[in-house]
């Protein structure tokens, strides 16, 4: 039983008043809700002491291993120039494999451009790898380029070459990676996370059962399959929504891992200036971004996935890519999501809803990128980082972080969506702000009512009356997953 809590968010509409209630749980489900003291306690009792209860929170876009390993890499998000980044890496100790790795840099607003000479002069013969915050480009010194077998006149690799470097850096010893994921999962539970969609660029059908067998039980997981593993997934008989676990999985980990969608990266990113847009990037009249997957190939992939029982998650950031993705959903009859949808044509809003395609978005990106938009998308005519527009058009919206691009913390996403600012500036495009109720709905997969999974988060403040700062720093008193406590303050 969870005793003496006040329900807010999904499920609140079924209660008569705001008085505290007890939530009775059996076999991982909510079986009854009644005014505090009305139900006889059975089994373990978690005393909420008047805390607020919301359904378990989900992050619908996470690169799990890269997020987990970020703690071992030099953070570069606040560094303001290429020269300063190069100097910073001079003092970074190599990892056990001899590589220096930094991550999170944002070069799109720097006054100087990354170049090979600057990085070589600072880092010498130690292979040095710098991962852009958007993961769509990497900056390597000559030693790293030689080690990986790539060439680049400025040390920059983009799109598929950049993804290949990230895959190699993430391919650490499985035991090491699994320990990092375990720690990261516990951190996520401390912020109320009870589920995430894993977009790690690896064969996750082996990794997650292995982690569960080793004791991972922090949250639910839906894992993606990438195009380069589509044939392997079909041969293995994987179907979206299918429960995947080994017979030797501990009881706490049973029922947590399911097959997710096929992931397709159809265009680039704003930070790397490769998102496929209708209008050229300023100062670069030939650059409209890139469509990584041609129209016919995208349709073929969606048809194949649909025939195999897999839903699809199409990465589309620019408006041209979003339109192309919606065209492919229309022709193929596929189901799934468009990931990011950071620039959407007005006419495409209703198409999302008509097709039943969900928009999986990251509200914090709007705030992290607002200055980039002012410089690089000033001439675009589509809607930038829509939220209210999508919801008003009847589109299902799901929130995430794209961690490690943004912090894996649903309260950060909720605050960004509700207030559209995280500094002293006025809200950015306030017409796209959403209510707390809408933000919570986009952050959960269930409701607090009988028959729903017993995934519940207790908070120390009422989200409905919290300021932006209070939402971002929301105290999580406890996290309950399928009736089992995964975090308690």
User: How do residues 208-223 score in pLDDT, each as one tens digit?
Assistant: 999 999 999 999 999 9
Max Cα separation, the chain? 72
Residue with tokens 């209008």: 279
Region(s) of the chain under CATH 3.10.310.70 = 74-157
Cβ atoms of 429 and 416 within 8 Å: the answer is no
Mapping DSSP to helix (H, G, I), strand (E, B) and coil, where does residue 19 land? coil
Residue with tokens 């002491």: 49
Region(s) of the chain under CATH 2.30.40.10 = 1-56+447-489
Superfamily of domain 266-445: Metal-dependent hydrolases (3.20.20.140)
Overall pTM surpassing 0.85 (yes/no): yes
Cβ atoms of 330 and 355 within 8 Å: the answer is yes
Cβ atoms of 343 and 317 within 8 Å: the answer is yes
Region(s) of the chain under CATH 3.20.20.140 = 266-445
Residues 75, 106: Cα–Cα separation, whole Å:
11
Give bridge partners of residue 480 from the DSSP assignment: 456, 485
For domain 74-157, which architecture applies? Roll (3.10)
Cβ atoms of 209 and 174 within 8 Å: the answer is no
Q: What are phi and psi of 410, to 5 degrees?
A: -55, -25
Residues 356, 409: Cα–Cα separation, whole Å:
27
pLDDT score of 246? 76
Question: With the CA atoms of 208, 210, 214 and 217 taken in that order, what torsion angle do they form, in degrees rounded to the nearest 10?
Answer: 20
Give bridge partners of residue 267 from the DSSP assignment: 291
Q: List Cβ neighbours of 173 (8 Å cut-off, separation of 6 or more).
A: none
pLDDT score of 376? 95
pLDDT score of 251? 87
Mapping DSSP to helix (H, G, I), strand (E, B) and coil, where does residue 310 land? coil
Residue 138's alpha-carbon distances to 26, 221, 260, 327, 360, in angstroms, are: 49, 28, 28, 31, 25
Cβ atoms of 323 and 301 within 8 Å: the answer is no
1-56+447-489, CATH topology level: Urease, subunit C; domain 1 (2.30.40)
Residue 189's alpha-carbon distances to 59, 61, 179, 243, in angstroms, are: 11, 16, 15, 21
For residue 128, give both structure tokens: 């040095």
pLDDT score of 253? 87
pLDDT in tens, the chain (489 residues): 999 999 999 999 999 898 999 999 999 999 999 999 999 998 999 999 999 999 999 999 999 999 999 999 999 999 999 999 999 999 999 999 999 999 999 998 899 999 999 999 999 999 999 999 999 999 999 999 999 999 999 999 999 999 999 999 999 999 999 999 999 999 999 999 999 999 999 999 999 999 999 999 999 999 999 999 999 999 999 999 999 987 778 888 899 999 999 999 999 999 999 999 999 999 999 999 999 999 999 999 999 999 999 999 999 999 999 999 999 999 999 999 999 999 999 999 999 999 999 999 999 999 999 999 999 999 999 999 999 999 999 999 999 999 999 999 999 999 999 999 999 999 999 999 999 999 999 999 999 999 999 999 999 999 999 999 999 999 999 999 999 999 999
Secondary structure of 39-94 as H, E, C letters: CCCCCCCEECCCCEEEECEEEEEECHHHHHHHHHCEECCCCCCHHHHHHHHHCCCC
pLDDT score of 377? 97
Q: Is 285 left (phi over 0), alpha (psi -120 to 50) or beta?
A: alpha
For residue 85, give both structure tokens: 């980044």
pLDDT score of 77? 92
Query: Pick from 14, 26, 17, 24: which is nearest to 46 by CA?
Result: 24
Residues 45, 322: Cα–Cα separation, whole Å:
48
Residue 57's alpha-carbon distances to 15, 196, 292, 411, in angstroms, are: 21, 9, 32, 9
Q: List Cβ neighbours of 362 (8 Å cut-off, separation of 6 or more).
A: 61, 340, 399, 400, 401, 402, 405, 406, 413
């Amino acid at each position: 039983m969870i005793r003496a809590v006040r329900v807010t968010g999904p499920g609140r509409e079924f209660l008569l008043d705001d008085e505290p209630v007890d939530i009775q749980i059996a076999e991982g489900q909510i079986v009854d809700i009644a005014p505090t003291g009305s139900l006889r306690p059975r089994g373990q009792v978690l005393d909420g002491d008047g805390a607020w209860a919301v359904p378990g929170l989900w992050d619908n876009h996470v690169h799990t291993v890269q997020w987990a390993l970020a703690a071992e890499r030099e953070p570069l998000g606040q560094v303001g120039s290429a020269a300063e980044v190069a100097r910073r890496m001079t003092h970074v100790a190599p990892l056990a494999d001899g590589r220096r790795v930094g991550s999170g840099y944002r070069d799109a607003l720097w006054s100087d451009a990354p170049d090979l000479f600057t990085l070589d002069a600072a880092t010498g013969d130690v292979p040095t790898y710098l991962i852009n915050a958007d993961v769509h480009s990497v900056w390597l010194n000559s030693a790293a380029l030689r080690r990986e077998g790539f060439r680049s006149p400025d040390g920059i690799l983009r799109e598929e070459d950049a993804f290949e470097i990230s895959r190699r850096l993430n391919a650490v010893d499985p035991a090491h990676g699994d320990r990092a994921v375990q720690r990261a999962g516990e951190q996520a539970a401390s912020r109320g996370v009870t589920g995430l969609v894993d977009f790690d660029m690896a064969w996750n059908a082996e990794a997650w059962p292995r982690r569960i067998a080793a004791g991972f039980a922090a949250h639910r997981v839906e894992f993606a399959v990438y195009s380069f593993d589509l044939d392997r997934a079909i041969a293995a008989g994987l179907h979206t929504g299918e429960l995947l676990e080994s017979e030797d999985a501990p009881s706490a980990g049973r029922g947590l891992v399911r097959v997710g969608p096929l992931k397709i990266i159809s265009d680039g990113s704003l930070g790397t200036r490769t998102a496929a847009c209708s209008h050229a990037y300023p100062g670069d009249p030939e650059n409209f971004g890139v469509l990584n997957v041609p129209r016919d190939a995208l349709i073929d992939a969606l048809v194949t996935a649909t025939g195999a029982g897999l839903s699809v998650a199409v990465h589309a950031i620019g408006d041209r890519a979003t339109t192309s993705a919606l065209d492919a959903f229309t022709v193929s009859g596929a189901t799934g999501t468009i990931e990011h949808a950071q620039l959407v044509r007005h006419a495409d809003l209703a198409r999302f809803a008509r097709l039943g395609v969900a928009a999986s978005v990251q509200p914090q990106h709007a705030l992290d990128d607002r200055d980039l938009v002012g410089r690089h998308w000033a001439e675009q005519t589509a809607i930038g980082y829509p939220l209210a527009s999508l919801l008003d058009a009847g589109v299902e919206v799901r929130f995430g972080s794209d961690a490690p691009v943004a912090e894996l913390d649903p309260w950060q996403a909720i605050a960004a969506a509700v207030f559209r600012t995280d500094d002293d500036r006025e809200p950015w495009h306030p017409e796209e702000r959403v209510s707390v109720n809408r933000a919570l709905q986009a952050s959960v997969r269930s409701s607090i009512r009988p028959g729903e999974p017993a995934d519940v988060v207790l908070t120390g403040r009422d989200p409905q009356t919290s300021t932006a700062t209070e939402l971002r720093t929301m105290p999580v008193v406890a996290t309950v997953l399928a009736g089992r406590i995964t975090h308690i303050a």
